[in-house]
Amino acid sequence: MFKWKKLFKRLGVGVCGVFAASVLFAGCGGGDGDSKSGNPEVLKVGVTNFADTLEPTQNYFGWVVMRYGLGECLTKFDEKMNIQPWLAEKWEVSDDKLTWTFKIRDNVKFSNGTPLTAEAVKNSIERAFAKNTRAATFFEYESMTADGQNLIIKTKKPLPGMPGYLADPLFIIVDTTAEPARDFSKEGPICTGPYVVESFVKERAVMKRNENYWDGQVPYATVEIPSIDDPNTRAMALQSGDVDVAVNIAAGDIDIFKNDADKFHIDEIASLRVVLARLNQNPDHILSDKKVREALICGCDRETYNDVLLRKTFIPGKAPVPPSLDYGFDQLKDPNAYNPERAAKLLDEAGWKDSDGDGIRDKDGKNLSLDFVVYNSRAELPLYAEAVQSDLKKLGFDIKINTVDYNLIDGMGIKGEYDLLISNITTANTGDPEIFLTWYWKSNGDGSNPQNGSGYSNPAYDAKLEQLSSEFDAANRRQLIIELQQILLDDAASLFFGYPQTNIINAKYVDGVVMYPSDYYWITKLIRPAK
């Protein structure tokens, strides 16, 4: 017994010492001199992966199927978010705007050799509708028919966003005839991309060249994709040459690579994402009072958060849609820009006063105490939360940070189990912000819009959304989207923190690595060994 105790104790001291020492060394080591020239047959990419399986219709796992170079859609977005042909070589819409005809490419084969026909595409899209209710939130069709290489989709109402909807990874085209012989969720789906699955677990995927690829030679025989969830570890893996490419290097580490421009290439772009805090406005919640919401928003010094704390890797937030998309960012007026004096006044007006002198405002015996739900897998989220906590404390808010696992966030958002809930959301997964503006703020009175668990509801907003959903004219759409955003700002509907830049960094012996704003395409056939 005593021996054990001693050993444990010594171990305690030892581990602590080793830890301190390793920190010292890690701090001093520059890590040069061990650069590898790269294996021209094997590509190693450090990523973050949230998918448990490669079934494209499960949750958002389709994103991963596409990012890993396995799945492709009928259409895709280019670097400027314009819609480009992919598996469909062209499309047109009838004069009454209700019938879409997509012409599927002739020369495409699935990785198992089956030729891609309109019939196969139809089956695949029907499969997505059958397996995931999210499909119907994009569009609903009256009929879908296959005619040779032509896919004809008829809709009940005009849907201007159709080509963009079909670029969503939920609609990745899979070979449905391969089922049930192959279990897609275990072995990965049969798709048309440049690489096929050799093995997949959440932590590590190995991809092989697709010998039947339709669009030219595939550069690498093997792609190894370890999922390195911790951003610092990912940066170090890239520094040490354990991976050749890494996505989303954090603000704290990106300077290391900028200072080593001979060895690393950085592709950093403004993403389409926004980091926001949903504010729970359901009755009985403190934030159902608009004055408190306004005070909360204008008590947050968002410029400092983004410019200083995050070192300009984020653009300071104001509106729902980031400035990288042309939806009137500069003409939108934020009534709740940073102004702590006004925030204090608003709280006084709303009846929140610090009557017991503990530094926290209260009203009717209840403290101004809010539950802020965050998750950690993105480095900036806890930082925003703590900065908000610190700023709002000066105003007499008591913000309790509740860190939960990422997988719980979606459910908590839907059920409304929060006062503030942080999210990092893409605003234009179908090419424009319509879906984003619908999911998170359209009234959910009858439970028809579960993503909006915040209780926000404004009939004027809903009416404009309805108008937007059947508007084909681009200029009118833009105007509607600007007006929608202004309503959200005036209602203090959510707290928009900032818009992330996103990056992908590669060692210079690899070429063709590009970060797309849509964030769907990481491993493409364009990535190849540098000459």
Partner 1 sequence: MIEVFKKNRLFAIYSAGVVLILLVAIFAPYLAPQDPFDGNMRNVLQPPSAEHLLGTDKLGRDTLSRIIAGTQVSLFMTICLVILLAIVGSVVGITSGYFGGKVEMVLMRLADMMLAFPGVVLAIAIAGILGGSVVNTILALLVVGWAKYARLVRSLVIKLRNNDFIIAAQVNGTKTINILWRHILPNILPMVVITGAMDIGTMMMEIAGLSFLGFGAQPPTPEWGLMLNEGRQYIQTAPWLMIYPGAAIFIVVATFNLWGDSLRDVLDPRQQ
List residues near partner 1 by CB under 8 A. 5, 8-9, 12-13, 15-17, 19-20, 23-24, 26-27, 231-232, 235-236, 250, 252-253, 255-256, 301, 304-305, 308-309, 376, 379, 382-383, 385-387, 389-391, 393-394, 400-403
Residue 273 β-bridge partners = 426
- Report the residue number, 289 or 371, with the smaller CB distance to partner 1: 371
Shortest CB 379 distance to partner 1, Å: 6
What are the C-alpha distances in Å from 117 to residues 137, 148, 216? 26, 7, 20
How many CA atoms are closer than 13 Å to the CA of 366, on its beta-carbon side? 9
Q: Which residue has the tokens 């909360």?
A: 296
Task: Kindly tell me which of 16 and 201 has the beta carbon lying closer to partner 1.
Answer: 16
Q: Which is nearer to partner 1, 26 or 261 (CB)?
A: 26
Smallest gap from residue 393 Cβ to partner 1 (A): 8
CB nearer to partner 1: pick between 84 and 240: 240
CA distance 468 to 327: 14
Distance CA 369, CA 376 (A): 22
Residue 320: name the closest of 168, 409, 433, 463 by CA: 433
Q: If you search the block for the tokens 């009137």, which residue do you land on?
A: 328
Provide, rounded to whole angstroms, the least separation between the CB of residue 318 and partner 1.
19
Question: By C-beta, is 409 or 480 nearer to partner 1?
Answer: 409
Residue 317 DSSP code:
P
Distance of CA 23 to the CA centre of its chain: 32
CB of 26 to partner 1, least distance (A): 6
In the complex, the smallest distance separating the C-beta of residue 380 from partner 1, rounded to whole angstroms, is 10
Residue 248 or 438 with smaller CB distance to partner 1:
248
Structure-block tokens of residue 20: 């301190």
Locate tokens 């171990």: which residue? 11
- Quickly list DSSP for 132-153: -THHHHH--EEEEEEETTEEEE
> Which one, 263 or 290, has the nearer CB to partner 1?
263
Q: Which is nearer to partner 1, 241 or 252 (CB)?
A: 252
Count of CB atoms situated within 10 Å of the CB of 90: 10
Give the nearest distance from C-beta 455 to partner 1 in angstroms: 24
Distance CA(250)–CA(226), nearest Å, equals 18
Nearer residue to partner 1 within complex by CB, 154 or 312: 312
Structure tokens at 236: 């170090």
User: Which of 331, 330, 328 has its CA nearest to residue 475?
Assistant: 328
For the bound state, the minimum distance from the C-beta of residue 255 to partner 1, rounded and expressed in Å, comes to 7
CB-based contacts of 346, cutoff 8 Å, min separation 6: 291, 292, 294, 295, 298
Q: How far is the CB of 444 from partner 1 (least distance, A)?
A: 27
Greatest Cα-to-Cα distance within the chain, rounded to the nearest angstrom: 87
Rounded to an integer, what distance in angstroms lies between the CA atom of residue 127 and that of residue 449? 22
**Taking the complex as a whole, how short is the minimal distance between the CB of residue 338 and partner 1, in angstroms?**
12
**Which residue, 253 or 491, is less far from partner 1 as judged by CB?**
253
- Which residue bears the tokens 């050993």? 7
Report in angstroms how near the CB of residue 377 gets to partner 1 at its nearest: 12
